[in-house]
């Protein structure tokens, strides 16, 4: 029985993780979990699962929860998260938090010797240079949940790392893939949230439309698979059937295929090296798909993808700056404060204006993250004043 702590239980990945766990009650057990402010979804979850510990974002939610669920120990805030991942007796942390907030719990869980099933890509984007050496030192496994990295992980089973020639990450192009840059001028939040293939949370769906998500995935792959940036290629693939590929020294290419269903990578991260049955609806039928399309990723169409390579290569605090700026700009767009193309402007400007420092600790990353957010908040204020 694998005992799991699940962070971000009420989100898209969190709920699908619960579904996977409920399909295998003899293999998996969730012993602790966290949600943010979504207390009504938490109540639904607690009707289905019997867990020992729960962490919520706001302390003010605790008294009522303690009264209604007297057998559960409740925690709150960032301190609570840290306690949950370090004190709780468990085997693997499923980190399905969204954003920079996921970094510290991953770090603390590794420090205390727990394996990680990682959906929070920001952990590696921002902190890969600290996280990967720590995982090695603590002999901790990091299992990818991101579909592209799970695909690569599946393709390299049994391979010698030095025999890998390059990683080929597929990209759907997101909700605006058929639009030119001129047509992006006045797109709406609702249009941006309609992803052609995947059903995901709001933040990542916007990141897919800007391809910031793909840029982050390149950085994530660099850290997870210890691969130099020149050996990581992004290829546009319309159908999201091939989730990524690996080319070996002999030019053999392995791909992992499947219907776009996050429960497959979630389960593999928990079941590795085994594979269990999984009820996902219709399995892949290539005679129905018939054709798979591929084309080059255009750097001018997707400037944030090109910038991610540069930021990744320069390392230091720059990835934290890029991520912090993107989190602020992504949110401002979803709140209707800025236009879609302003997201790119905000991130590009932050990367060049906030600048780069060395990273020796999580504190250095927190500082860079804060500076980037402050920069973008000012940037947005200037935009709003310009509008008047
Ligand atoms: Mg992905």
Gap from CA of 318 to ligand 1 centroid (Å)? 21
Beta-bridged to residue 295, according to DSSP, are: 236
Gap from CA of 295 to ligand 1 centroid (Å)? 18
pLDDT digits (tens, 9 = 90+) for 132-155: 999 999 999 999 999 999 999 999
Gap from CA of 150 to ligand 1 centroid (Å)? 9
pTM of the model: 0.96
Gap from CA of 303 to ligand 1 centroid (Å)? 18
Nearest to 178 by CA among 293, 257, 345: 293
Gap from CA of 239 to ligand 1 centroid (Å)? 14
Distance in angstroms between the alpha carbons of the first and the last residue of the chain = 60
Gap from CA of 334 to ligand 1 centroid (Å)? 20
**Structure tokens belonging to residue 285:** 């039928």
Nearest to 72 by CA among 91, 56, 95, 93: 56
Gap from CA of 52 to ligand 1 centroid (Å)? 31
Handedness of CA 52, 28, 76, 44 (dihedral sign): negative
pLDDT digits (tens, 9 = 90+) for 250-266: 999 999 999 999 999 99
pLDDT digits (tens, 9 = 90+) for 33-53: 999 999 999 999 999 999 999
Gap from CA of 39 to ligand 1 centroid (Å)? 27
Domains and CATH numbers, the chain: 2-144 (3.40.50.720)
Phi-psi domain of 77 (left: phi exceeds 0; alpha: psi -120 through 50; beta: other): left
Mean pLDDT of the chain: 96
Gap from CA of 97 to ligand 1 centroid (Å)? 14
Q: Using a CB cutoff of 8 Å and minimum separation of 24, what contacts does 175-179 make?
A: 175/205, 175/208, 175/209, 176/209, 176/340, 177/236, 177/238
Give the separation between CA 98 and CA 379, rounded to whole angstroms. 23
Gap from CA of 147 to ligand 1 centroid (Å)? 5
Gap from CA of 146 to ligand 1 centroid (Å)? 5
pLDDT above 80 (res 387): no
């Amino acid at each position: 029985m694998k005992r799991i702590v699940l962070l971000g239980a009420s989100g898209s990945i969190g709920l699908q993780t619960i579904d996977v766990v409920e399909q295998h009650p003899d293999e998996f057990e969730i012993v602790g979990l966290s949600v943010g402010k979504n207390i009504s979804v938490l109540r639904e979850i607690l009707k289905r699962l019997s867990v020992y510990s729960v962490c919520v974002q706001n302390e003010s939610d605790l008294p009522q929860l303690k009264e209604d669920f007297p057998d559960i120990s409740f925690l709150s805030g960032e301190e609570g998260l840290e306690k949950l991942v370090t004190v709780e007796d468990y085997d693997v942390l499923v980190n399905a938090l969204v954003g920079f907030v996921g970094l510290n719990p991953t770090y603390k869980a590794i420090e205390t010797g727990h394996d990680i099933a990682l959906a929070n890509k920001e952990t590696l984007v921002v902190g890969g240079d600290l996280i990967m050496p720590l995982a090695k030192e603590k002999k901790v496994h990091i299992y990818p949940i991101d579909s592209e990295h799970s695909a690569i992980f599946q393709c390299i089973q049994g391979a010698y790392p030095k025999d890998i020639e390059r990683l080929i990450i597929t990209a759907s192009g997101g909700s605006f893939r058929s639009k030119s840059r001129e047509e992006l001028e006045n797109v709406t939040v609702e249009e941006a949230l309609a992803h052609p293939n995947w059903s995901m949370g709001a933040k990542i769906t916007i990141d897919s439309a800007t391809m910031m998500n793909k840029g982050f995935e390149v950085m994530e792959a660099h850290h997870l698979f210890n691969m130099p940036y020149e050996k990581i290629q992004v290829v546009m693939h319309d159908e999201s059937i091939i989730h990524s590929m690996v080319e070996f020294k002999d030019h053999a290419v392995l791909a992992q295929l499947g219907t776009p269903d996050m429960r497959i990578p979630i389960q593999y991260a928990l079941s590795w090296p085994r594979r269990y049955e999984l009820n996902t609806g219709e399995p892949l039928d290539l005679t129905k798909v018939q054709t798979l399309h591929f084309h080059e990723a255009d750097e001018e169409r997707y400037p944030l993808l090109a910038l991610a390579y540069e930021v990744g290569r320069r390392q230091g605090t720059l990835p934290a700056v890029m991520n912090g700026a993107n989190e602020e700009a992504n949110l401002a767009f979803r709140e209707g404060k800025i236009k879609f193309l302003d997201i790119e402007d905000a991130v590009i400007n932050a990367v060049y204006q906030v600048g780069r420092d060395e990273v020796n600790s999580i504190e250095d990353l927190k500082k860079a993250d804060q500076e980037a957010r402050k920069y973008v908040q000012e940037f947005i204020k200037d935009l709003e004043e310009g509008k008047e």
